[in-house]
Structure 1
């Protein structure tokens, strides 16, 4: 009887709906899970008769509730939020260093000039001369520790880049593997929803490391490229990201893509955490270290040159108090073995004469060429560096908050669309259960009718 066959299709269809709902409820707390829907279609009449109602219902597919545009927006905002977060973390570390008293170059200069002023009262005093040497030594240590802090962060950023590259390559291989499994399952009319969720999660992690673009292919695979166009994943083939050390600085690197033996340089901004690491090194950290080197060289040379115009207490020509390695001035700056009596504070060696000492004191107001700050006194240059760090840190913090808000909004839109709603699924359970019971009732009624017909004979 057709009534039974129709009811049986209803039983199967609503059982499928119950299965889908059960799957959704089971994964209500599964991160990245996209809810599913059973898609129904009426089965047409099996005969051309005008009074044939139809053949029942069938489940045409299991739909994964997701929107490609919304997902791409999530990835794009995730890249920017990750970039801003990483940059802010680095800037906060730099701001903390620049604000520490033990690293304050201006404070060290003030202490040295105070010692020079004290010595001007009695320039031949051995203790006062020793105080000058001691404060000069303390100043060099401030330069050293600040420079080493820059160097340490520079090295840490290189290590972070290495770790990010390794993670990126692992994610690319996994995306390619999931692509392959999706294509295989789609070819056999299977339901690849769980694989699509897995792929979205992997690409989401990848978007934190770099800015990406994606393009869905007819076979179900997803092509992934950098925002600048270099291939990352095509079908089941994955690229390998490489960081090639800069010959002039092993902690800097040029990024490139190796795809099936072809090399693609990454000349533009790679975005994400990897972009933030390089941009911070190039745009902030290295310029600051260059400015610090300029200050160390300018001050040490000016001080030594001034001493060279005088004589010490023994009548000998003035010798330098500071020494440094030209390849890394601020980190190598130190005092020489000059003894107190060897400080040439007088132009003629007379114990009471302090004309050279006066010239040394005058260096506090002398201007020097410092990269990024023009002609400026050493103390003002460092103060400007501290101020620039604070201003940039505030700007980066503001950018990070804005990027995080945009990412949170994009995630909220995605979750509102794709995540499981417990109340909605509870209602679906009732609907499908009632429909299932109704179809069972139809079958029962059909059996009763059939029995009644048989009883007539």
Structure 2
């Protein structure tokens, strides 16, 4: 009878334990990261009696959790990728808002400024037209500065977020190490600490929101957590840390390092993942690309207008000065490992050939290599100075050592320093230093469209005569050195003429319209004193800059379109990546939850099952007790 009592008591306690576990499942049905638990029962064995074998009932085996390590790991990895893509998209969306289209865009401001020169070209003595040019230019410079400042603020916010994320990673690493310790302390128990394991998985899932990790399980139940492939963020009960640091070459760039034993090692950005990886990709790639595009637009505009304005003459007869404050040369940032004393910089040599990129200059045994970082293409030179992509790289002072390198960022500071250099309408150099006089016997078939200086040639104001021949070509006399040779040997040697195409000699450009007659002639010489009031040649030259191919074949006036096109491509790519990785993260979490999640309908059915089993066990125990009491009473008589 004692065996029957034991069977009843064990069954009662086992079924009660099952009910407790089911209640625990129901209570945590909406707890994130909770894994459904199940009571595993087993036979309590048997005993031999009178040649027969009688079972000894049931006993509690273990309480296990429904968990698939593979699905859990896949969900964590997908979460990390989705977090990185979503974070980058959020930052790019904010960046996109800084570049509006339409009347509020930089493109409209730039075209308004360039188009304002048309009124000056039409009426060079109109002071209001001159004031409008200056006002439009000042507004454009202000918008460029404001856009650059907002980009700086966006960069600062992203850097602050990286630092905050690093702090969160270190906190989570400490929490995981603490739970590892608690799990290790339960090593002598028969079952597993299911709720501790769930807590650790939840911490690992949260950790992967910030940085992608990999894990290795140990025999004592702990897990080691690695970042960037092989750096041990958590080793059993010991947690290490990440740290946000500044780049040793470019202090504006943020890096994430791994700290162990007092030694910091910089982690590769591409291996981080999570929100930290998304922020760093934005900070090191997306934002610099847009800064370069904006800076290139500002630098080309600054250089081209200044160059042309310097070739003109103002209302007082003085040579034109700078229209915008000249952009500063870009100093090379030396690598921390440099051993030489060299100092270098870059300056603009051809504003129409600029590429929106940073550059890496390396001093090698065979000379100098300059790498365009936007596409990785390297070009070798014997020494500095060297010309590449419209930039001239110059050695300022000191001596280089083999292996020294410099980072050159020609565009990053241009827009934020854009300012107007001219203030008085009288100083607007709208006039041309050269003038053209048609021959008195000319027929009426040719008209003068424009004449202006194109470069500061020493022969700019030398008298030149152009006379048209019967075949439509023309001769040019009085040319200085460096001019193109005649198209036709002659005699007389002559140049071909195409209506509307500029005729360029001695640093000036003359455009004629119509068909010439034999003997038509034009004299080009220095503009007479006092003629600058009515002369608008240089204003027409500035106006012509609108159509000059500047940005890889794109006209100066359409430079903002190139910026928007690149940004739009980035945003669309980021949207696709975020959508795809987000859906993948959702599907992997759904698959994990299908295994580990609590199904309330199933728990309700199991609740009834074990409730009935518990009641039956209690009834059996009651009967066994009653039978045992009756037996005692009978024997006692």
Q: Is the structural similarity TM-score above 0.5?
A: yes
Q: Give the conservation status (yes or no) of the 8 Å contact 2:303–2:326.
A: no
For 2:417, the equivalent position in structure 1 comes to 332
For 1:74, the equivalent position in structure 2 comes to 75
Residue 424 of structure 2 corresponds to residue 423 of structure 1:
no
| CA shift in 2, pair 1:50/1:352, >3 Å | farther
For 1:299, the equivalent position in structure 2 comes to 301
Task: Give aligned pairs, total.
Answer: 453
CA distance in 1 between partners of 2:236 and 2:108 (Å): 60
Per-residue deviation, residues 13-66 of structure 1 (Å, max 9, x unmatched): 111111111211222232222221111111222449751222221111111111
Cα deviation for residue 270 of structure 1 reads 0.7
For 1:354, the equivalent position in structure 2 comes to 536
CA distance in 1 between partners of 2:98 and 2:322 (Å): 30
CA distance in 1 between partners of 2:629 and 2:247 (Å): 89
For 1:283, the equivalent position in structure 2 comes to 285
| CA shift in 2, pair 1:100/1:181, >3 Å | farther
More strand per residue: 2
For 1:241, the equivalent position in structure 2 comes to 242
Alignment of 1:203-214 (within 5 A): 203-214=204-215
CA distance in 1 between partners of 2:180 and 2:594 (Å): 26
Structure having the higher Rg: 2
* Structure with bigger RCO (C-alpha 8 Å, 6+ apart): 1
CA distance in 1 between partners of 2:228 and 2:248 (Å): 27
Residue 584 of structure 2 corresponds to residue 406 of structure 1:
yes
- Structure 1 residue runs of 5 or longer lacking an equivalent are none
Residue 286 of structure 2 corresponds to residue 107 of structure 1:
no
CA distance in 2 between partners of 1:424 and 1:215 (Å): 33
Greater displacement, 22-31 / 308-317: 22-31
More helix per residue: 1
Cα deviation for residue 318 of structure 1 reads 0.9
Alignment of 1:360-371 (within 5 A): 360-368=542-550, 370=551
Cα deviation for residue 223 of structure 1 reads 1.1
Residue 185 of structure 2 corresponds to residue 215 of structure 1:
no
Q: Give the conservation status (yes or no) of the 8 Å contact 2:134–2:422.
A: no
- Structure 2 residue runs of 5 or longer lacking an equivalent are 331-412, 434-530
CA distance in 2 between partners of 1:408 and 1:170 (Å): 26
Per-residue deviation, residues 66-99 of structure 1 (Å, max 9, x unmatched): 1111111110110111111111111111222212
CA distance in 2 between partners of 1:233 and 1:154 (Å): 30
Of residues 599, 607, 615, the one that matches 1:437 is 615
For 1:154, the equivalent position in structure 2 comes to 155
Residue 181 of structure 2 corresponds to residue 180 of structure 1:
yes
Q: Give the conservation status (yes or no) of the 8 Å contact 2:149–2:416.
A: yes
| CA shift in 2, pair 1:335/1:451, >3 Å | closer
Q: Given the two structures, how large is their TM-score scaled by the length of structure 1?
A: 0.94
For 2:564, the equivalent position in structure 1 comes to 386
Q: Which runs of 4+ in 1 moved over 6 A?
A: none
Q: Given the two structures, how large is their TM-score scaled by the length of structure 2?
A: 0.68
Greater displacement, 172-181 / 290-299: 290-299
CA distance in 2 between partners of 1:88 and 1:36 (Å): 38
CA distance in 2 between partners of 1:83 and 1:218 (Å): 33
Cα deviation for residue 377 of structure 1 reads 2.6
CA distance in 2 between partners of 1:382 and 1:48 (Å): 97
Greater displacement, 231-240 / 220-229: 220-229
CA distance in 2 between partners of 1:213 and 1:253 (Å): 24
CA distance in 2 between partners of 1:254 and 1:23 (Å): 45
For 2:10, the equivalent position in structure 1 comes to 9
| CA shift in 2, pair 1:314/1:447, >3 Å | closer
| CA shift in 2, pair 1:281/1:324, >3 Å | farther
For 1:308, the equivalent position in structure 2 comes to 310
Q: Give the conservation status (yes or no) of the 8 Å contact 1:158–1:251.
A: no
Q: Give the conservation status (yes or no) of the 8 Å contact 2:121–2:537.
A: no
Greater displacement, 158-167 / 334-343: 334-343
Q: CA RMSD in A?
A: 2.0
Greater displacement, 220-229 / 158-167: 220-229
Q: 1:254 is paired with a residue of what secondary structure?
A: strand
CA distance in 1 between partners of 2:184 and 2:159 (Å): 38
